[in-house]
Chain A
Amino acid sequence: MIRTSARIARLALAMALLGTVATPVAMSAAAQSRDAPSLDSVTVTYEVGGVKVIHRPVSATDVVAVNLYLLGGVRQVSADKAGAEPFLLYASEYGTKGYPGSSARLALAHTGSWITVSATADYTRYSFRGIKQEFDSTWAVFADRLLHPTLDSAAMTITRGRLLPSIRSASESPDGHVSQVADSLAFESHPYAIPAEGTEGSIAAMTADDLRSYSAAQMMTSRMLLVVVGDISRAQIERVVTATFATLPRGAYTWSLPAEWPAKAPRVAAIQRKLPTNYILGYFSGPLQSSPDYPAFAIAVGYLGGILQDIIRSEGLSYAAGAPLLERGATGGGVYVSTVRPDTVLKIINTAIDYIQRDALPRQALIKHAQRYTNGYHYRTESNAEQADVLAMAQLYRGDFHAAADYGAVLRKVSGGDVTRVARKYIRNIQYAFVGDTTRAPIKLMLKP
């Protein structure tokens, strides 16, 4: 224990010293974010027939990314209809009014574009990625799939046959298993308890009429956020949206962030599974991304992850250790490790948390963290599709699409005291999942308040 504490202190000192040799912040930020402000300055928002649009008309490549966010996610369904929205959109691949049978796929195949469906706790992302020359022809299929899916028995059977094995197999991988257990523990009394892709029960029982009812009740323009990045004009967007999605009712949906999920006490769910190593994942609740505490929280989690990775790996205790940041509506952080020595590793985790809650991060380390965010922002926004997602997340979670590019400046204002205070406030009452040899689960250490 003493050795670990000393090691953590040395690491913090090293990070501080490393910060002192960094390029001055102002110069660095200017050099690194040279294209972010200019891209933001050409990005506009407007509304077309009730659909909110974020539009970044860039012409560096022929690629066009179109992301339609159907807002609300799991809050739009009851448990017995979990996964209805992604089911509907997947099934639409097998026929629409305008493109019956396989002609929807054939028409799309000739464009070379890719349509994807991604269900999350907060929204369903229905998107396509293609080249600008095929924008209109891709949009035609894209829109018809959402507006006029046939949902015939073949489409329902094929889609169900693909979804059920996918849901069943989610916990085959130990990482998937430990995630499921941690989710079920942390979000037990929260809307996030409903799986976005549905459950075996809900998908097995879903009928075409269920999906039609869902569509009639939920497909409304007030639930839609459309983000387009690429060499497409506003006139083009207005034309295609007016002819398609804008024909839907506006509805009365208003986006809001979900409630936080503060846990009242630490808990552990230990699952016996014969594995060569043990998997541990614990979650703790965080502030909403719109909260003044969030930047310091993100730094605290990042710092915790760096310490754990450095110490646990260098001690030869694990190949994989870290601290995930749950960047969604109801945020959180976590600790993660796979190890054959869970007791030793949990002691290190608890000591690292104590340290972060006690000793303020040096200023230089904080500056470095802000620099890393700015560099990472470029890394995460190389493609138009990535830019579309970053813009949408900033809009939804922080209320303004500019917030992503500006976030480095926000982080630079965080003090060491802020991080310590926020770490004490949020990194507590961890909800732990343990999958492996439960006789070796360090329950007492995981139940640290």
Chain B
Amino acid sequence: MMLTPPRGACRVLGACAALVVALFGAAAPPALAQRATLERMIRDTVLANGLHVIVVRNASVPLATIEVVVRTGAFSQLTPEDEGVPHLLEHMLFKSGDGTMAGSFDDAAYKVEAIAHNGVTEAEAVAYYVTLPSKNLAKGVKLMADLVRSAEFEREALKSEQRVVSGELQRKAAEPQYLLYHQASQALWGEGWSRKNPGGNLLAVMGATPDRLRGFFRKYYIPNNSALVVTGDVVAAEVFEAAAKSFQSWKQGDDPFKGTSIAPMPPLKASRTGVVEADVTDLTFLVRWHGPSVGTDAAGTYAADVFSELLNQPLSGLQQRLVDSGLFQSVTLGYETQKNVGPIELYARTTPEKLEAAGAALKKEISLFSQPGYFTDDDVAIAKKRQQVLTAFQLETATSLAHPVASLWSVVGLDYYMDYVDNVRAQTPDDVRRFVARYLAGKPMTLTVLVSPANRRAMRPTLDGLLSKWGVE
């Protein structure tokens, strides 16, 4: 249904590092290991068919969110014809279930008094969720089981949904900021772009056949490649019972990744620059690097999140030099936790008249990342305080906890989530410096600039000069 997460969830986990930290960090004194705290709040089990069931209890309001996540997404688009099939399949599931789904998912959701329901396709996860009164937990679990257990891909329904997905992609293509992201992604990933594009390619989406969808569904939509995450005013034992009852007939399948080698992302060998023209008034710089892969450098992912938090503080040196100086309207850094190379990205927005000075200052700032004293002990203290407070904020909203848990489960597994808080807290300035040295300092990057056609014409020499020198020390 959509490519963005439900309310309160974070698609870009790195940009919301504090959110993940926040989930439970304040529930115990900082000196205590957070894993122990989480283990008191989270219960999980694995059903006989391999489905991982995870329960997070928070009884602040009588609601629950039930989310099923399947380990697929853009990374499983192995051929050009696949590019967008996980997304289209996510749409089609809402039209092709059985049992309580026999009418339509909307009707079924209406019956269980759903407040919100949708699907999300990401780079390394596809998830479906419903938020409903917790008294309807068992009905909701049954509904989600019916949604993902079986599917039929009737040709007419597929045609109709292809038009809907096409409409979704057209809406995205109408958004200047999305055009910037899209072109920057192509530059960053090169030949690997098709495995980083969850929305998909319009031609592949419109050309997808029922057989292709069926193939994906059979391969990936199996319980031993999925998890059920339930958060809110629920009791773990009741969730496990409902899950066992509703999901037990979902048949286990072969490990979809056994014997399949997913090629590593092609490295970014040299810096690349580009320009996107759209109907905008100001300029947006998007600078991106290849960041850590959580499977091979988990420590780098924690450091990436800490570094982002340090730079995004309103009083960081970067914010004072680039934003308070008036050169930029805003500058933010983020990292997205992924198994197959997570992107590090810096967005910076300025005005046409400041292009030359702003561009030079940004280039210089990036060169300072690895300098001694780039961040201070006080920066670290403030970042930790922000995390403590965000922890308390996140504890308030039970219904939005499901998605971060589900998404991280798909990317790297529950253990990463359970240990995340402790690992982030254990980061030292030297850890952060090592991350900068390994992924940022002097490394190839992409710079893509969003600008209006008129401003590009007017500033061509300045802009071309900036781009030609970008990445050159």
Contacts and interface: CB of A to CB of B under 8 A. Distances in A.
Contacts of A60: 60
A74 B281 CA distance: 26
B97 to A, nearest CB: 15
23 contacts: A63-B395, A102-B324, A105-B315, A109-B386, A112-B388, A112-B390, A129-B393, A131-B389, A134-B389, A161-B329, A162-B323, A165-B282, A277-B167, A279-B174, A316-B160, A320-B168, A338-B167, A375-B63, A375-B113, A382-B61, A382-B63, A383-B393, A384-B396
Contacts of A158: 323-324, 326
A264 interface: no
B34 to A, nearest CB: 17
A35 B61 contact: yes
Nearest to A138: B389
Report, nearest first, the 6 A-B pairs whose CB atoms are least far apart: A112-B389, A316-B163, A316-B160, A319-B167, A276-B170, A319-B168
Contact of B26 (A62, A102, A161, A313): A62
A317 B159 CA distance: 11
Interface residues on B, range: 35 or more
B111 interface: yes
Contacts of A376: 115
Given A63-B395, A316-B160, 11 more contacts: A61-B395, A111-B385, A134-B389, A162-B330, A276-B174, A316-B163, A317-B167, A319-B167, A319-B170, A338-B167, A375-B133
B191 interface: no
B80 to A, nearest CB: 21
B386 to A, nearest CB: 5
B28 interface: no
Interface stretch (A169-177, A239-247, A283-291, A416-424): A169-177
A369 to B, nearest CB: 11
A338 B382 CA distance: 44
A61 B391 CA distance: 11
A444 interface: no
B175 A173 contact: yes
B77 interface: no
B413 interface: no
A293 B55 CA distance: 43
Interface string B169-189: 011011111000000000000
Given A61-B392, A112-B386, A338 B171 contact: yes
Interface string A54-94: 00000011110000000000000000000000000000001
Contacts of A274: 279
A316 B326 contact: no
A375 B369 CA distance: 48
A4 interface: no
Which of B132, B170, B381 has its CB near the most chain A CB atoms (within 10 A)?
B170
A130 B279 contact: no
Interface of B: 26, 60-63, 103-104, 106-107, 110-111, 113, 115-116, 131-133, 135, 159-165, 167-168, 170-171, 173-177, 278-282, 313-315, 320, 323-324, 326, 329-330, 349, 351, 381-382, 385-386, 388-390, 392-393, 395-399
A30 B54 CA distance: 29
Contacts of B381: 110
A339 B396 CA distance: 38
B314 A174 contact: no
B111 A18 contact: yes
Contact of A109 (B104, B162, B385, B388): B385
A254 interface: no
B8 to A, nearest CB: 9
A62 B390 CA distance: 11
Contacts of A14: 103, 107
Given A18-B110, A162-B329, A162-B330, A382 B163 contact: no
B106 to A, nearest CB: 6
A21 B111 contact: yes
Nearest to A157: B326
A166 interface: yes
A317 B166 CA distance: 10
A32 B397 contact: no
Contacts of A221: none
Contacts of B26: 62
B167 A172 contact: no
A109 B313 contact: yes
Interface string A271-284: 00111110100000
Contacts of B176: 172-173
A168 B115 contact: no
Nearest to B325: A158
B161 A31 contact: no
Contacts of B278: 172
Given A310-B106, A340-B170, A32 B62 contact: yes
Interface in A364-414: 368, 371-372, 375-376, 378-379, 381-384
B405 to A, nearest CB: 17
Contacts of B313: 109
Interface string A330-367: 00000000111000000000000000000000000000
A378 B320 CA distance: 41
A376 B131 CA distance: 10
Given A382-B61, A383-B393, A165 B281 contact: yes
A191 B3 CA distance: 37
Contacts of B329: 161-162, 165-166
Nearest to B159: A316
A106 interface: yes
A53 B29 CA distance: 33
Contacts of B160: 314-316
A22 B283 CA distance: 53
Interface in A296-325: 310, 313-320
A379 B315 contact: no
A127 interface: no
A3 interface: no
A277 B62 contact: no
Contacts of A15: 110
Contacts of A340: 167, 170
A384 B373 CA distance: 39
A379 B382 contact: no
A378 B324 CA distance: 40
Nearest to B160: A316
A314 B91 CA distance: 11
A20 B125 CA distance: 37
A384 B396 CA distance: 8
A63 B62 CA distance: 20
Contacts of A384: 396
Contacts of B104: 314
A114 B385 CA distance: 12
B107 A31 contact: no
Interface string A1-38: 00000000000001100100110000000011011000
Q: Most chain-B CB neighbours within 10 Å: which of A130, A162, A339?
A: A162
Given A316-B161, A340-B170, A368-B110, A113 B389 contact: yes
Contacts of A102: 315, 320, 324
Contacts of B390: 112
Which of B396, B397, B398 gathers most chain A CB within 10 Å? Answer: B396
A109 B382 contact: yes
Nearest to B116: A379
A18 B109 CA distance: 11
Contacts of B113: 22, 371-372, 375
A277 to B, nearest CB: 4
A109 B131 CA distance: 34
Nearest to B111: A18
B163 A161 contact: no
